Amino acid sequence: MATLWDKGGAFNSKAESFTVGKDRELDLRLAKWDVTGSKAHAAMLKKIGLLSTEETAKLSDALDEILNRIEKGEFRLENDVEDIHSQVELLLTEKLGDIGKKIHSGRSRNDQVALDLKLFFKDECQKTRDEVLALFNLLARLSAKYKNVLMPGYTHYQIAMPSSFGLWLGAYAESLADDMIMLEAAYRIADQNPLGSAAGYGNSFPLDRKLTTELLGFSALSFNSIAAQMGRGKTERAIAAAIGQIAGTLNKLAQDCCLFSCPNFSFISFADELTTGSSIMPHKKNPDVWEIIRGNCNIISSCYSQTAMLTANLPHGYHRDYQLLKEIIFPALEKTHDCLQMACLMLSNMKVNTEIFKNPLYKPLFTVEEVNSRVIAGEPFRQAYKAVGKEVAEGTFDFPKERMNVESLHHTHIGSIGNLTLKEIKKKMRRSLF
Just list the catalytic residues. 156, 278
What is the rounded CA–CA span in Å between residue 338 and residue 138?
Answer: 16
**In degrees rounded to 5, what are phi and psi of residue 184?**
-65, -40
Residue type, 244: G
Within 13 Å, how many C-alpha atoms sit on residue 154's CB side?
Answer: 9
CA–CA gap between residue 29 and residue 54 (Å, rounded): 30
What radius of gyration do the chain's Cα atoms show? 29
395 in the Ramachandran plot: left (φ > 0), alpha (ψ -120 to 50) or beta? Answer: left
For the chain, the straight-line distance linking the first and the last C-alpha, in angstroms and rounded, comes to 42
Q: What angle do CA 136, 139, 144 make, to 5 degrees?
A: 125
Whole-Å CA distances, 165 to 147, 242, 408 = 6, 27, 16
Residue-wise DSSP of 383-408? HHHHHHHHHHHHT-----GGG-SHHH
Half-sphere exposure for 336 (CA within 13 Å, toward CB)? 32
Q: Are the beta carbons of 222 and 193 closer than 8 angstroms? A: yes
Backbone angles phi, psi at 161, to 5 degrees: -145, 160
DSSP character string of 188-227: HHHSEE-TT-TTTT--SS---HHHHHHHTT-SEE--SHHH
- The closest alpha carbon to 216, from 111, 129, 127, belongs to 111
